[in-house]
Amino acid sequence: MAIYHMQAKVVSRGSGRSAVAASAYMSCSRMYNDYDGIQHDYTRKQGLIYQEVMLPPMAPLEWNDREQLWNAVEETEKTKDSRLAREFVVALPVELDKDSNISLLQDFIKKNFVDMGMCADFAIHDTDGHNPHAHILLTVRPLNENGTWQYKTEKEYLCIKDGEEKGFTASEFKTVQKQGWEKQYRYKVGKKKEYLTPSSAQEKGYERIDKHPKSSRYGRQNPISEQWNSDEQLCIWRANWADAVNKMLARNQINATIDHRSFADQGITEQPTIHEGYIAQNMEKKGMIADRCEINRQIRANNKMLRELKAKVAKLAEAVEKSIPIIAETLEAIRNHMIFTQYHLLHNEMQKEVIHDWMNHFNPILNKYNTVKKKLKAKVTERKEQLIFQAECSTDKDMTNLSKKYDQMNNNLDILDSQDISLKKQLEKDAAAFREEKFRPEPEQYTELLDTRIQIRPDFRDKLIKQLKGTFGKYYDYHHRDIAANEVDYLNVEDPDVFSHRAWELEYQRKQEIRRNQPARTKKKSYDIEL
């Protein structure tokens, strides 16, 4: 079935990527990067269905060759952390054939990117025949009418006039300088260094120590680039992709639609899964447990239970008259779901404690390692070896992998925190549903309801234990289950002692009834005793 997926990324030198390499990968071709002298060969890669370069009218015709296009981009960007391109990865509907998907992409790219002045390089991949998707690579620097590149940011000088500070570009400063605006430079004022205007510094006889005037940190961004980089524009592109896909599906008379909105915006209470990636999937294939796959398994189990609970609630809501046993089962089912959710929260807390302990152990070592690596060049070998030994590593590569793992752990903490928020919201909804069901019977039926719940609770407890073991596996802890049950009873304003006392009374009554039904014992005769 058609699904919505649009992933936006930036190809940047700061992250170790290259626009030429990205284009060679998606087009399954061999391309040479003039910037760093590296040849990228992806001719053995399989799954390429279609590829094309689309240009705006002002772009040079030779850029139809993607190698020339992206080498021109690489040549223009001078800094070591430059943003080279913007990349989109979109899922294509499996219901559409090849030609329809190509037409869909061409129309979407032209209207949303090329018509705005971007050069677009795209390719369609489908390795196994069940996952058609497209890679779209876009330029981030606007073009002039003559086909030359515009600036992304322009230097902005912070000038002063009558105590007011304002930013001006070089061309703007030539105009406002006549109005009394002055640039600011660094001067030595006693033991301090301050930014002053030349006129005020000359009056006091201060010495200038820097020839560079004061300027804003990031400069003034090109208004076209600013629009392309905005969150609002990204939201527009996401919505336009969903509209384009739905129109194409309707044109082909396919009864399917996609929605770009989040689950929350769509009114879906289920929790979305996270992206696992090929590294985590390969770990699972080798028999190891990947954190991301483990989190997704827990999310799927929660969603399954939520769907089952919704179905039960909907079924019960349709009934006009509800018997005490049905209400009792509903209450126990909701309680089970709440205990499961509370247990999940406790499990997340345990995971976060483990991650925090790991990060607290390795964080000072990593900080010292990076400090030594950057600043202490003379003693870098000796000190690095000591820190590598402390981190239980062997080489610089091991320390690099350790740093990546640290970042991954930090990311997992954010995922768990987000998951906790969803779980707590679900607990509040379940508690409200529980209270509504609990007070549905008449007050004189409370004892009957309580007795029925006591009778069926062992079965529900067994179901819960089976579900917890199936979801958390070896991480299942019966202590956490008991803690979660107590927390849920507290949320539901129920006293466990009332249940235990009433259960004891019922058991006592049952035993008394058994004794009353037993036949009376007869006294033995004296001769029986003698014998």
Domains present along the chain, CATH in parentheses: 6-151+230-260 (3.30.930.30), 153-221 (no CATH), 288-496 (no CATH)
**According to the model, what pLDDT value does residue 383 have?**
62
**DSSP-assigned beta bridge partners for residue 161:** 164
A 10 A CB-CB count for 403 gives 15
Query: Where does residue 4 fall: left (phi above 0), alpha (psi -120 to 50 degrees), or beta otherwise?
Result: beta
Per the CB < 8 A criterion, the answer to whether 118 and 181 are in contact is no
- Tracing tokens 């989040």 back to the chain, one arrives at 262
Backbone angles phi, psi at 88, to 5 degrees: -120, 140
Per the CB < 8 A criterion, the answer to whether 2 and 256 are in contact is yes
| C-alpha span between 21 and 110 (Å, rounded) | 24
**According to the model, what pLDDT value does residue 293 have?**
78
Cα angle vertex 88, ends 83, 93, to 5°? 175
Q: What is the tens place of the pLDDT at every residue in 261-287?
A: 765 555 555 666 666 665 777 777 777
> What is the rounded radius of gyration, in angstroms, for the C-alpha atoms of the chain?
34
Q: Is 101 helix (H, G, I), strand (E, B) or coil?
A: helix
| C-alpha span between 370 and 410 (Å, rounded) | 18
81-107 as b/e, with b when 16 or more CB fall inside 10 Å?
ebbbbbbbebbbbeebeeebbbebbbe
Tokens of 334: 């909701």
| C-alpha span between 410 and 360 (Å, rounded) | 11
Tokens of 280: 């985590």
**DSSP-assigned beta bridge partners for residue 138:** 86, 120
| C-alpha span between 108 and 105 (Å, rounded) | 5
**According to the model, what pLDDT value does residue 257 have?**
86
Q: Which residues of the chain have pLDDT under 50?
A: 320, 523-527, 531
Give me the count of residues in the chain: 531
CB-based contacts of 123: which residues, under 8 Å, 6+ apart?
Answer: 26, 27, 28, 48, 49, 50, 51, 52, 134, 135
* Burial class of residue 116 in the structure, from the number of CB atoms within 10 Å of its CB (0-12 exposed, 13-18 middle, 19+ buried): middle
| C-alpha span between 276 and 15 (Å, rounded) | 20
Residue 347 CA: distances (Å) to CA of 57, 102, 133, 476, 477: 57, 46, 36, 9, 9
30-51 as b/e, with b when 16 or more CB fall inside 10 Å?
ebebebeeeebebeeeeebbbb
| C-alpha span between 18 and 11 (Å, rounded) | 7
CB-based contacts of 177: which residues, under 8 Å, 6+ apart?
Answer: none
Q: What is the tens place of the pLDDT at every residue in 213-262?
A: 999 988 888 889 888 989 899 999 999 999 999 999 999 988 888 887 76
Cα angle vertex 282, ends 361, 22, to 5°? 95
Per the CB < 8 A criterion, the answer to whether 81 and 14 are in contact is yes
Residue-averaged pLDDT of the chain: 84
Q: What is the pTM of this model?
A: 0.52
126-144 as b/e, with b when 16 or more CB fall inside 10 Å?
beeeeebbbbbbbbbbbbe
Tokens of 417: 């925190």
Per the CB < 8 A criterion, the answer to whether 20 and 31 are in contact is yes
Backbone angles phi, psi at 33, to 5 degrees: -95, 110
Per the CB < 8 A criterion, the answer to whether 72 and 213 are in contact is no
Tokens of 141: 């620097």
The separation between the first and the last C-alpha atoms of the chain, rounded to the nearest angstrom, is 88
Tokens of 294: 């483990």
